[in-house]
Chains A and B, each alone.
Chain A
């Protein structure tokens, strides 16, 4: 069966990783892992929902490109194999603590401001919050530095959508 151009790009664009689908490891791109609903190993359902919602505001299309699957997979990886942008910075390991803290901080902030989790907000509210986050302007934030958290998640989204392997 001939692949459509979009399907082909999904297969070769980013590189494949061993995602868990129906208890079996399969080599998939993050986009394929999203399509096939591969299991998450580090992030819980709320965290996945928050990460996808946040990434989608930062870069539309990143959810379908598998940003949450990629991040989750990398948070479960060995240190030497890790591919996330956060690896460039002197953040204490395990990096999953940074992501747990950041995702929790997002929802704590939105519950205070809007009475609900980030994923449930209207787009306009999400965009406003992300703008404030980028400028360290969310009051009462308790997590990794806001603008740094914004930088990291934004780059994760960009990696899955625009990153490529030659």
Chain B
């Protein structure tokens, strides 16, 4: 038997960054908001500063089957529980560049956004004031126009100072990394301790994760979160012209439905696409809002290429924040490097612990035995490193589909295929060579590159001007169903060469405010 809940104004699937912003804006506007979160409730008391305990901030739900030559490592990038993936972010918040929005127009490569930087600029400015971003806008010479940061930059420790000299020796510029982390008390939240356990979720609230910012605001304005509530289908009227809400399974295994005037899918790009694909029927043969055939398409990530070194001097690499101390975007241009295409940045002097996937021990993965102890003893005092965030081109065959296997709720598993485009791989090769050159110029005793990984997940429900070549408009509103919104990095037509969370926040704020201001058009 299915239990129906009382009708609400807004149903949001998810409780992460974009979900929290929609909830905060709409609840503040007086709308009754309910959020369905598949994971367990999490408060600051659950956050333990440890690379091991940080893993509890990551996805633990239904398996995502990964295919292709370069899997995106979904559980690594996704989250579950209150705050979603926003709870394990490093809070590295640079802005997208102007050219990130017009790649197809400028170069005939990739996709264009239906909006430009200037459309998002006021939202970048407002969000940074609301959450507090620390940085030095003047030193960040590559930064597009915008308000200066409200907080002074993060401290530069020994590791940063040593690596800076490598950049400067080659005539390259660095700036303090812009981060959504308080360097002074701000808006009722304390300043950072620089203990470098950012991925564990910051129990003191210095890092602007959803618990500390928009979700807190949403709950204070009357929004509610139903935890351990897994959406299983988006419900529509018979003709498929309106979304009625969602079916879900609650914490006790009870089937329920929640009806709403407007439904917002904010469950991370891949899960959003999966829900749309399995919610077809009526006028939506190939999944909901999928007449374009583009739901699930253009899945992107960032290539993460670490460059590592050992210095004779002590480096204090355990100090600071995971995002790093400095940033360099000197070579952000899209082309001009032979077959390589795309943008990238350096995040320099990341705080590093002995263990975990980006820990010291995995800087030399082939070492084991007594040699591993020796290396760790050495690295704990002398390691310094940086990581490149490299653009991944939107490729239509990188996609989410419904698999044949089903999860415990009886719904198909998501199958994600991802293979990096040759032009992005060529860019990665170029970047690695540059990185080794930069570190060598800092005069360490050893420099190496230990392969590459992936970070972040974008695309799957891209925005665009037309229903034929996109799933949603620039506000995240479905082209086909007026009262269905999609939020998060799944909307991004390009990945850029920077971390996505600031842009997720700006895009979501714009979308949520549009919905709030034009409410009567949707109901």
- Cα distance, A14 to B76, chains bound together (Å): 22
B49, B58, B359: the one within 8 Å of A158 (CB): B359
Please state if A130 and B50 are interface contacts (CB–CB under 8 Å): no
* A80-B81, A134-B366, A165-B50 known; A92 vs B75 contact (CB < 8 Å): no
* A127-B369, A162-B354, A166-B195 known; A80 vs B56 contact (CB < 8 Å): yes
- Cα distance, A59 to B364, chains bound together (Å): 14
Please state if B52 and A15 are interface contacts (CB–CB under 8 Å): yes
Further pairs besides A57-B368, A79-B60, A159-B355: 14, Cβ < 8 Å: A59-B368, A82-B56, A82-B60, A83-B52, A83-B56, A85-B356, A87-B58, A88-B55, A88-B58, A127-B369, A154-B361, A154-B365, A155-B361, A165-B48
Interface status of B80 (Cβ within 8 A of chain A): yes
Per-residue CB proximity of B175-208 to A under 8 Å, as 1/0? 0000000000000000000010100000000000
Residues of A within 8 A of B49 (CB): 165-166
A→B interface (CB under 8 Å): 14-15, 57-61, 79-85, 87-93, 127, 130, 134, 151, 154-155, 158-159, 162-166
* A80-B40, A80-B81, A85-B357 known; A60 vs B369 contact (CB < 8 Å): yes
A57, A61, A83, A90: the one within 8 Å of B55 (CB): A83
Please state if A89 and B73 are interface contacts (CB–CB under 8 Å): yes
* A88-B75, A90-B73, A90-B74 known; A59 vs B50 contact (CB < 8 Å): no
Please state if B368 and A85 are interface contacts (CB–CB under 8 Å): no
Residues of B within 8 A of A91 (CB): 63
CB distance from A119 to the nearest CB of B (A): 16
Residues of A within 8 A of B372 (CB): 58-59, 158
* A82-B60, A130-B368, A163-B51 known; A90 vs B75 contact (CB < 8 Å): yes
Please state if B53 and A158 are interface contacts (CB–CB under 8 Å): no
Chain B binding surface, main DSSP class? loop
Please state if B66 and A90 are interface contacts (CB–CB under 8 Å): yes
CB distance from B214 to the nearest CB of A (A): 23
Interface status of B254 (Cβ within 8 A of chain A): no
- Cα distance, A82 to B71, chains bound together (Å): 22
CB distance from B409 to the nearest CB of A (A): 14
A61, A92, A130, A134: the one within 8 Å of B63 (CB): A92
Residues of B within 8 A of A84 (CB): 55
Q: List 30 A-B contacts (CB under 8 A).
A: A14-B52, A58-B369, A79-B60, A79-B61, A81-B56, A85-B55, A85-B356, A88-B73, A88-B76, A89-B73, A89-B75, A90-B71, A91-B63, A93-B63, A134-B365, A154-B368, A155-B357, A155-B361, A158-B355, A159-B356, A162-B361, A163-B50, A163-B52, A163-B354, A163-B356, A165-B48, A165-B52, A165-B53, A166-B48, A166-B50
Number of interface residues of B (CB under 8 A): 41
- Cα distance, A134 to B48, chains bound together (Å): 32
Residues of A within 8 A of B40 (CB): 80
B→A interface (CB under 8 Å): 39-40, 48-53, 55-56, 58, 60-61, 63-66, 71, 73-76, 80-81, 195, 197, 354-357, 359, 361-362, 365-366, 368-370, 372-373, 376
* A83-B56, A89-B73, A158-B355 known; A164 vs B50 contact (CB < 8 Å): yes
B195, B354, B357: the one within 8 Å of A88 (CB): B357
* A79-B60, A83-B53, A163-B354 known; A89 vs B359 contact (CB < 8 Å): no
Residues of B within 8 A of A90 (CB): 63-66, 71, 73-75
CB distance from B295 to the nearest CB of A (A): 21
* A80-B39, A88-B357, A92-B63 known; A15 vs B75 contact (CB < 8 Å): no
Please state if A155 and B362 are interface contacts (CB–CB under 8 Å): yes
Residues of B within 8 A of A166 (CB): 48-50, 195, 197
Please state if A162 and B63 are interface contacts (CB–CB under 8 Å): no
A61, A80, A159: the one within 8 Å of B60 (CB): A80
Residues of A within 8 A of B65 (CB): 90
A134's nearest neighbour on chain B, judged by CB, is: B366
- Cα distance, A92 to B55, chains bound together (Å): 17
Residues of B within 8 A of A158 (CB): 354-355, 359, 361, 372
B362's nearest neighbour on chain A, judged by CB, is: A155
Residues of A within 8 A of B53 (CB): 15, 83, 165
* A154-B368, A158-B355, A158-B359 known; A59 vs B64 contact (CB < 8 Å): no
Residues of A within 8 A of B58 (CB): 87-88
- Cα distance, A165 to B368, chains bound together (Å): 24
B372's nearest neighbour on chain A, judged by CB, is: A59
B74's nearest neighbour on chain A, judged by CB, is: A90
Residues of B within 8 A of A88 (CB): 55, 58, 73, 75-76, 357
- Cα distance, A134 to B368, chains bound together (Å): 10
Between A57, A60, A80, A92, the greatest number of chain B beta carbons within 10 A of the residue's beta carbon is seen for A80
